[in-house]
Structures are given as C-alpha cells and as structure tokens.
Amino acid sequence: MKEIIHSYSDLSFHMAIGDMIKKHSENKKDIRLLAISLIDWTDIKNILDLGCGYGWFEAGLSGRFEKVVGIDCLSENEHAFLEAAGRISDNPGFEHRILPCTLEMPDESFDLVVSAYSLYFFPEEVAEIKRVMKKQGVFLVITHSEAMLQEGERFFDFTNLRKVIQGFSAENGEKILKTYFEDVKYVDFKNAIVFSRYEKKDLAGYINFKREFISKDVDPSKVMLTMLDELERKGTMRFNKDDRIFLAKK
C-alpha cells in the first residue's frame, strides 16, 4: 500500500494524467459536475473530503461554505488542497493522516462527506463517516467499476489489483453502504478511454501512472510492452472507464 500511495505523490504528473484521461474519454461530460448536480446544496455549510488529494472535487464547486476540510495520506497535497478549498471557504483545513483511522471530530460535524476515487483504500472508514455526518447529511462516493480491469485481464492475472478495487466498487458499493445507511442511491457514468496507434505516448503514460498498482501482480514493463504491441497490432485500444456515483443518507 505504501508503494501505491507513493504513486500519487507527484502532483503535476497526477494532474496531467487526469487531463490525459479526459482527452481520451468517449464521455466528455465531467463526472464531478454530474455528482455535484445530484446534491441539494441548500443547507450544506461544512464539507469533509476523505482522500482529498489536491482538491479535485473542491475545484468543481462554486458558492461559499463555512468549513472545508480535507484528509489525505500525502502531505504533498496540502498546499494544492488548501488553495482549492480556500477559493470556496474562509476556513479551509487539511489533515495529513492515513485512513482508515478514528476521526478526531465531534459527532454530526459535517453536512457533506466526500470520497472521490479513494474509498476502496479504506472501506473500514464508513462507520466513522456516518458518525461525523449530520442527521440530514449526505455521503457522496465516486468509484470505479471492476470492469476497468477487463482489457488488461485478457493478458494478465490482476488478482491483487482486483482486490484493491473490490474494497469499494460500483458492483459492491451499495451493499457496503446499506450496512450503515438507510437511504442509498446511485447513478452510473458510462465511459471508456480510447487510444489510437498514434497515441502510444499517452497510453504509456497511463500505464506508468498505474505501475505501483500493477506491480503487485505483474512486472509493469511487461504490461507496457504487451499493451503497446497490442495497440500497434489493432490500431486502437479501448479501456472500460465506467464509474458509479453513490449518495447515502442516514
């Protein structure tokens, strides 16, 4: 897990990969904006973002909030997160902590708790999330589908990577949330990322970003060569990028 965490530590590379995924996505809509549109923002004043990264979610918000707090395993993300959160709140905060952990916050502190592409790393945190949510609060989760592994699993056994994604996936997320929350809804975001044989550099960058995930099962350089050869042979490669947005309430 330490190696996987380290793969997110290069902030500029992480952000560049996000832009590259957007460039190659068949679905040009912003899943973040879709998620934001599903929430009634009338009474939301305090936000907690778990696995906040560099403030990707906060960068999509408008309006003003009393408090916006991010918790992340990488101290390198503090400056960028506080910058993004400070744009929408006079009281931004950042905590460098490894999740799951006990949240040193009072019961019913937050109107909205967010976990975007991170809850599969710490699904054990859900009980604590429920505790710090207000009675009318919302828990927003954006996560991957296990189908994202289909293309790679044609060539390799990604058992360990699959276990990571299965921590909280589109397929099992509802069951996990219903253990703690009365009201659970979800919306699917259908997508794929597509590369042509003239875009090998982008595909290589995408695989390189995933190298710490991949290395638990297969030598990343072997995956790189196989995928690039397959791209040259076929002329185009399509990778499943289906995601799911969950909204849970007490």
Helix, strand, or coil (residue 171): coil
Please answer whether residues 181 and 249 qualify as being in contact, where contact means their C-beta atoms are separated by less than 8 angstroms: yes
Note whether 112 and 48 are within 8 A (CB): yes
Of residues 231, 158, 175, the one with CA closest to residue 201: 231
pLDDT at 248: 98
The per-residue pLDDT for 3 is: 52
d(CA 92, CA 84): 9
Peptide bond into 220 cis (omega under 30): no
Task: Give the C-alpha separation, 155 to 46, whole Å.
Answer: 46
Token readout for 192 is 């794929």
Per-residue pLDDT, averaged over 11-34, amounts to 90
Tell me how many degrees the CA angle 175-210-4 measures, rounded to the nearest 5: 70
Q: Over the stretch 45-99, which tens digit does the pLDDT of each residue have? A: 999 999 999 999 999 999 999 999 999 999 999 999 999 999 999 999 999 999 9
CB 246 within 8 A of CB 184: yes
Q: Which domains does the chain have, with CATH numbers?
A: 2-150+157-192+244-249 (3.40.50.150)
Give the per-residue pLDDT at 4: 56
Q: What is the pLDDT of residues 151-205, one digit of tens each?
A: 999 999 999 999 999 999 999 999 999 999 999 999 999 999 999 999 999 999 9
